[in-house]
Structure 1
Amino acid sequence: MKTRFRKSGYSDATVIKYIDPENPIYLLSTESEKQFKYVDGKRTDEVTGYRSWYTQEGLPPFMVKFEKDVKLPKYLSLVKFENLQGIEIRYDVYFKADDVTEVK
């Protein structure tokens, strides 16, 4: 997701600027993607996190990173995040969370 030029730490306030807490969020991924550590421009086998894709009406699809491999609900499930935070770096915004669960 693109944003204005800003740089700050992860925060809840950044999430509220881009994701409407009143609108539903849907899972677009069927499984988590591993993120690997790079050293001198070369990928290592060390996994640094996992990420998956989500969408909300009026927004482009966005990724959320997790430190651990979370159990994802079914494709297109309505979800909520535990401790969702965002960070703005240059013209991009990135999100991370502790967990994701299906809303029943």
Structure 2
Amino acid sequence: MKFNTRRQDGYSSSLAHSILDKSKPVHSISDSLTPQQKFEDKKPTGEIIAYKAWFTQVGLPPFEVKFSNEVQLPPYLSVVEFINLQAVEVSYNVYFKADGIKEFK
């Protein structure tokens, strides 16, 4: 996801909250997690180091969130909340990570 934001070092919850609008729901658009492998010398090792899933919010393009541990995704298009959502900007691209996810009821 590309944004013109103020450059920060490392992941930050303030950057994530400045991008997502708390007054609008976030919907899960993944029905399964995508494992992320560890790479050494530009080659995959087969070791899973994280899991990723896609989400959307009105007014934003779909965005991917990385989780350190395997999480239980809610059903497709469910409204979700993130646990400790953070974002980092790298070369004008924004990457998100969270500690967990829960379905908003």
**Normalised-by-shorter TM-score class:** over 0.9
Q: Size of the alignment, in residue pairs?
A: 104
Runs of 4+ in 1 over 4 A off after TM superposition: none
CA displacement, residues 53-78 of structure 1 (integer Å, 9 cap, x when unaligned): 00000000000000000000000000
Higher strand proportion: 1
User: Distance between the aligned counterparts of 1:10 and 1:43, measured in 2?
Assistant: 24
Aligned ranges 1:1-104 → 2 under 5 Å: 1-4=1-4, 6-104=7-105
Matching residue's letter, 2:87: G
CA distance in 2, matches of 1:16, 1:102: 18
Identical aligned residues as a percent: 46
Output the aligned Cα RMSD: 1.1
- Determine the C-alpha separation between the residues in 1 that align with 2:84 and 2:17: 12
State the TM-score, normalized to the length of structure 1: 0.95
5+ residue gaps, structure 2:
none
Query: C-alpha deviations, 1:3-58, integer Å up to 9, x for none?
Result: 23734111111012211111100000001000001111111111110010000000
If the length of structure 2 is used for normalisation, what is the TM-score?
0.94
